[in-house]
Structure 1
Amino acid sequence: MAVKRAWYLLQTKPRQDARALENLEFQGFDCFAPFITVERIRAGKRCEVSEPLFPGYLFIYLDKVADNWRPIRSTRGVSRLVTFNDTPLPIAHDIVDQLRKRVAGEKEQPAETALKPGDPVRISDGAFAELDALFECYDGTERVVILLNLMQRTQRLVMPLANIRQA
């Protein structure tokens, strides 16, 4: 009889995704926890931070019959196996494969440099998309202040950090 392995979903303890992943891999389990890179402002500078795509969850590759599932419950960082009617349901291979491809493609993008006051920027989204402006300063962790020339006057606009790119 052929071994039928499938992906299953595990719930981790709060903010212990990395710990659970490390401990499960140390025990020899094949796991996948997709991480994405997001822009944050730390100490007044724009930086990229790696965060879990699904906080509190990770995927584990198991055989329903051949693998020993008992050590999973007592693994540090693991809360429980996600079940429906007390039965873990397998996740389609193509879903996990697509997640792996998207996460791998996201890592290939070059890191963006920090903005300095006076740097030219281009608005990439929203009502002012495709207009050029000047960066003035950061406003909190997710917003920026830009100077936009509208109707012969310079206007200060506050907008999400994700809506601008360096020109």
Structure 2
Amino acid sequence: MAAPISSPRWYLIQTKPRQEARAEENLRRQHFECYRPQKHGKTEEPLFPGYLFIRLDRQLDNWYPIRSTRGVARVISFGGEPTPVRDELIEQLRERLAAPAEKPRFQPGERVQLHGGSFRELEAIFVSADGEERSVILLNLLQREQKVRVPTQFLSLCAQPELVMGCRIE
């Protein structure tokens, strides 16, 4: 009976702390196909710190050099067997990371209104985004302007934009 035909699959590698790039470079030098998803922003950061993907054929590729590669901690396994990652997951990651970043919902200096939380129905000035789900706003509290972090979902643009913090009038 002939052996089943195998094909390369993606597997997950755990790297040593903060050595994702080193592990990837050393694996590529050994002619392994690797994928290390990166977040794009002010600086490129790993999407999955401490991990990268490697494409191997379980029946043809020699797994032993992987374990001793600088920067590699281990191959992720269950029951002592390396666990494959679906190709579709890798493709979805690549597509999502290749898509252009969305335009920010608010621009610094724009007047916004709060629609939730403790400051409901107050107006404020948008300062900046603080991650993907929070924003920094300038709120007038007790005759003083205070920077406050709020969930971005609680904000909407005021109906009548005006000049604020040197920004243009619309």
- Normalising to structure 2: TM-score of the pair? 0.66
Of 78, 84, 87, the match for 2:81: 87
- State the distance in 2 between where 1:77 and 1:19 align: 6
Q: Once the 2 structures are TM-superposed, how far is the Cα of residue 12 of structure 1 from its aligned partner? A: 0.2
2:138–2:148 contact (8 Å) kept in structure 1 = no
Equivalent residue number for residue 109 of structure 1: 101
Question: Are residue 97 (structure 1) and residue 91 (structure 2) matched?
Answer: yes
The two structures, once aligned, show a CA RMSD in angstroms of 3.9
Q: 1:147 aligns with which of 131, 135, 138?
A: 138
> 1:137–1:33: structure 2 CA closer, same or farther, 3 Å change rule?
closer
Structure 2: 5+ residue runs without aligned partners?
162-170
Match of 2:10 among 7, 19, 40: 7
In 1, Cα distance between the equivalents of 2:58 and 2:115? 46
Per the alignment, do residues 4 and 136 of structure 1 end up closer, same or farther by CA in structure 2, a change over 3 Å counting? Answer: closer
How many residues align structurally? 146
Distance, in Å, in 2 between the alignment partners of 1:124 and 1:10 is 44
User: Within the alignment, does 1:32 sit opposite 2:35 as a pair?
Assistant: yes
Rate the CA distance shift 1:137–1:29 in 2: closer, same or farther, 3 A: closer
The 1:49–1:85 alpha-carbon spacing in structure 2 relative to 1, beyond 3 Å, is: same
The 2-side partners of 1:90 and 1:111 are apart by 36
- Residue 50 (str. 1) matches residue 39 (str. 2): no
Counterpart-to-counterpart distance in 2, 1:76 and 1:52: 18
Listed one character per residue, the Cα deviations across residues 3-34 of structure 1 (whole Å, up to 9, x for unaligned) are 41100110000011111111111221111111
User: In 1, distance between residues paired with 2:46 and 2:114?
Assistant: 25
- For the 8 Å contact 1:36–1:52, the answer to whether it is kept is yes
* Residue 37 of structure 1: how far off its partner (Å): 2.8
* Structure (1 or 2) with the larger CA radius of gyration: 2
TM-score, normalising length: structure 1: 0.67
Name structure 1 gaps, 5 residues minimum. Answer: 39-47
Structure possessing the higher relative contact order (Cα contacts under 8 Å, 6 or more residues apart): 1
Cα distance between partner residues in 2 of 1:70 and 1:125: 57
Q: Percent of counterpart pairs with the same letter?
A: 45
Distance 1:98 1:3 in 2: 23
Partner of 1:43: none
The structure richer in strand per residue is: 1
CA distance in 2, matches of 1:19, 1:50: 15
Distance 1:50 1:86 in 2: 33
TM superposition shift of 1:133 = 3.2
On the 8 A contact 2:114/2:123 being kept in 1, the answer is no
Which residue pairs with 1:134 in the alignment? 125
